[in-house]
Amino acid sequence: MKAFISCKQCTDLLMDYLEGTLDTGIKQRLDEHLSACPPCLNFLRTYKTSSELTRRLRDQQVQIPRAMENRLKSFLREQVKKS
């Protein structure tokens, strides 16, 4: 007989679920839970969205002021001369 999966267990398994690393049996039980539990399905969607949004931080562009670039050049020239 299949063991019941709680919402907490479902939440604990989400990372493995999304990475596709769950055993087939567990994945099937999780799928069954998700199809019968709207809060967990919402949780899965929003967990995935949060991860996707975090990934997009990689696209952020930063600028550095010219003065800082000059500071870094002077600092590095000085440091390498010491070594």
Partner 1 sequence: MKTKGMEQPQLVEGLRKLEDEAIDELVHQYSRPLFGVILNYTKNPQDAEEILQDTLVKIVRKIETFRDQGDIWPWIKRIAINNSIIWLRKNRATREHELRMDDHLPQFSADGQHSHPVFDWGVDPEQLLLNKEVGGLIYDAVQVLPFEYRAPLVLREIEGYSIREISALLGIKEAATKTRIHRARLFVRERLAKHFSGRHFGGLL
Phi, psi angles (nearest 5°) of residue 13: -95, 0
Asked if 45 interacts with partner 1 (CB under 8 A), we say yes
Q: How far is the CB of 30 from partner 1 (least distance, A)?
A: 14
Phi, psi angles (nearest 5°) of residue 3: -80, 150
The pattern of x and - marking residues 1 through 40 that bind partner 1 according to CB under 8 A reads: -----xxxx-xx-xxx----------------------xx
- Give long-range contacts, CB 8 A cutoff, 24+ apart: 32-38: 32/5, 33/5, 33/7, 34/10, 37/7, 37/10
Asked if 73 interacts with partner 1 (CB under 8 A), we say yes
Chain contacts with partner 1 (rule: CB under 8 A): 6-9, 11-12, 14-16, 39-43, 45-47, 49-58, 60-64, 68-69, 72-73, 75-77, 79-81, 83
